[in-house]
Amino acid sequence: MTGIIILTIGIIVNIGFAMYCIKINSHSKDIKSYLHIISFVLFSFLIIFKIIKWGFQWTTLFTLLSLQALIGLWYIIRKKKKAEKTYTTVRIIIICISNCLLITFAIIPAILFPQYEPLAQTGNYNTRTMSYTLTDPDRIESYSNQTENRKVSIQFWYPESENEKFPLVIFSHGAFGFRGSNYSTFVELASNGYVVCSIDHTYQSFFTQQVNGEVAIVNVDFLNDAIAIQNNDYNKREEFELTHNWLNLRLADTNLIIDNILSKASSPSSDEVFQMINTEKIGMFGHSLGGATAAQIGRERNDIDAVIVVDGTMIGEVTGLDMEKEILNNTPYPIPILNLYNEEHYKDALDNSSIYANMVVTSNASAASQVVIKGSGHLNFTDLPMFSPFIANMLGTGKVDSRYCIKTMNQIILDYFDHYLKNTKELNLMEEY
């Protein structure tokens, strides 16, 4: 909203100045210079007095106003007394339109990524963060044209504490997500006494920044294949092979991370975050494709105690195809599992309960729960609707209030892990929120 207000004011000022110039038949450089200086000073005051919270979204506009103010100041200092040039109405209008387009371009980041108030943490712990990049000696990077080992980056959020051990929960993001996609969830868990590890699945993440500063962006082939599957452009066999290749890559990433964490947690010389982990209490959760990863890790490893699938399809439960019909794993799911659905996803799951993997697992699991947040869409289970409502709405959100949805989801996840990893809270989940 702040960006739109500033843009509106900027356009009105430019139009007003243009109308004045048309009236006097001149593009008054004196007044233009003073307007630029005043605009820069006013914008600076908004930042200083924290009416505008400084962030990356204001950098382009600040740079533009700074340059315009410097040019205006230079003109006022160096100007010589001489008659103003005569400008035609058409030229004045063209200059006005150009200025309006320039300020619009400069303020687009603030409109796409508006200011928002982060969700308050409910826990008593302050949180810290630490990042690492691991290299897998046993895998060559399949998404790279160069022969190099696969690198996987992770980020921890953990309590600021001494001489305490906390459960570990590991997060896997969705396709095109990244390790910070659910930041509010991570800090909420960490503030309540969890060590949270979020994985960047390199080249399946929108972008991955390694600890050495190198950045890897999403692989174009992966992006195109994911869109094609979403549009039903592939047959069942092609979809099965692609999605299981993706899943296998993520499973290898996750096993690499868990094994590395467990190894370092047992070493007295390892970093602080590893010393804080209770390796006997581990949870796994993920969004979308990350949810499928979490579910499969929970089935394959015996050191995972509870799993949450956040609006994902459990593709690992599909073990093969028989005449285009999916063959599902009917072996009971071995640990507690929670499926958290958006409203449309839940309706589809109920309509196909006998052949949909998540529902079959729920019916066979030793302890299973399912929850739907009414009015929610797929991306309401990430922080994107708060960070960039415009982009989130374009990609897929529901009618639910975004802050309510993410806050409700965070509370559900906290309650679930408290029950199964800490044994401190009775689990009273509703089926609908």
Looking at 192-305, list the stretches that DSSP marks H as alpha helix, in order from N- to C-terminal side. 220-230, 236-265, 272-275, 289-300
What pLDDT was estimated at residue 81?
57
Q: Which range of residues forms the domain containing residue 246?
A: 127-422
Token output for 321: 């195809």
Do 165 and 227 belong to one domain?
Answer: yes
CA distance 159 to 193: 6
> pLDDT class for 251, splitting at 50, 70, 90?
very high
Structural domain contains residue 432: no
Q: What is the DSSP letter of 81?
A: -
Do 141 and 83 belong to one domain?
Answer: no
Do 100 and 133 belong to one domain?
Answer: no
> pLDDT class for 424, splitting at 50, 70, 90?
confident
CA distance 324 to 303: 35
CA distance 342 to 33: 53
Do 245 and 325 belong to one domain?
Answer: yes
The per-residue pLDDT for range 400-419, each reduced to its tens digit, is: 999 999 999 999 999 999 99
Do 186 and 66 belong to one domain?
Answer: no
State the first-to-last Cα distance of the chain, in angstroms, to the nearest integer: 29
What pLDDT was estimated at residue 33?
85
The per-residue pLDDT for range 280-290, each reduced to its tens digit, is: 999 999 999 99
Task: Give the CATH number, domain containing residue 408.
Answer: 3.40.50.1820
| Position 190, amino acid | A
Do 176 and 281 belong to one domain?
Answer: yes
Do 91 and 131 belong to one domain?
Answer: no
258 closest CA partner among 288, 233, 293 = 293
The per-residue pLDDT for range 47-84, each reduced to its tens digit, is: 888 888 888 889 999 999 999 989 888 888 876 555 55
Do 97 and 32 belong to one domain?
Answer: yes
Do 265 and 207 belong to one domain?
Answer: yes
Q: What is the DSSP letter of 207?
A: E
Do 146 and 255 belong to one domain?
Answer: yes
Structural domain contains residue 308: yes
What pLDDT was estimated at residue 82?
55
Distance of CA 210 to CAs 135, 176, 192, 407, 429, Å?
11, 17, 28, 29, 38
The mean pLDDT value for 182-209 works out to: 96
Do 9 and 145 belong to one domain?
Answer: no
The region, left, alpha or beta by phi > 0 then psi within -120 to 50, assigned to residue 177 is beta
Structural domains in the chain (count): 2
What pLDDT was estimated at residue 84?
58
| Position 344, amino acid | E
Q: What percent of the chain has pLDDT over 70?
A: 98
* pLDDT, greater one: 324 or 70: 70
Do 272 and 411 belong to one domain?
Answer: yes
Mean of all residue pLDDT scores within the chain: 92
The mean pLDDT value for 152-168 works out to: 96
The per-residue pLDDT for range 99-157, each reduced to its tens digit, is: 899 999 999 988 888 888 889 999 999 999 999 999 999 999 999 888 899 999 999 99
Asked whether residue 186 carries a pLDDT value surpassing 90, the answer given is yes
Structural domain contains residue 259: yes
